[in-house]
Amino acid sequence: MLDEINSDISNGKLYLSNRLNQNGKDNYQNYLLESVENGDEETFTNLLIQSSNFNDTEIVQGKSKKVPSNAASLLCQSEFNRYYIRAICLRAMNQNQDEVKIYRGRESSWTRPESEVLIGTSLNATDLLEDLRNSIGISPQLFPEINSGLTIKI
């Protein structure tokens, strides 16, 4: 995970949510690195929640609305999973495994039928890695929404 994060940092591709205020954008990289090196997704969420890192409002379809109270959790879950998937793809490729398998990594109170049907299916590790590397801040083409609770294994 760390190699993929550092690659994004080096290439100026680290995703910074528009929900983050300037303080959040300034802290985000360090919090992400700290969490991967010494913690987990929950550590990342807690670091972002600790101090004022999010805007109070955001513009959605031209209208101002309150940033959801779970914005930190949503951001941290999605980005942690995105880097985890990228790391698993690299591991698969290093082990000469062409494919990775989708499974439910996090339970959800509301599961999408289009996500459920993907559980147990395989994806090409190289293609998925490239897709995730190229879809920073947008939904990937080959994988369901990152916040779906789905992830991969070898």
Residues 27-66 pLDDT 10s: 999 999 999 999 999 999 999 998 889 999 999 999 999 9
Q: Tell me which of 117 and 37 has the higher pLDDT.
A: 37
d(CA 152, CA 154): 7
DSSP code at position 66 = E
Name the residue range of residue 110's domain. 2-153
Dihedral of CA atoms 50, 52, 53, 59 in degrees, nearest 10, equals 140
- 121 compared with 148, residue with greater pLDDT: 121
Strand 63-66, strand 122-124: pairing: unpaired
User: Which of 23-27, 37-41, 137-141 shows the lowest per-residue confidence on average (mean pLDDT)?
Assistant: 137-141
The count of domains in the chain is 1
- Give the mean pLDDT of the chain: 93
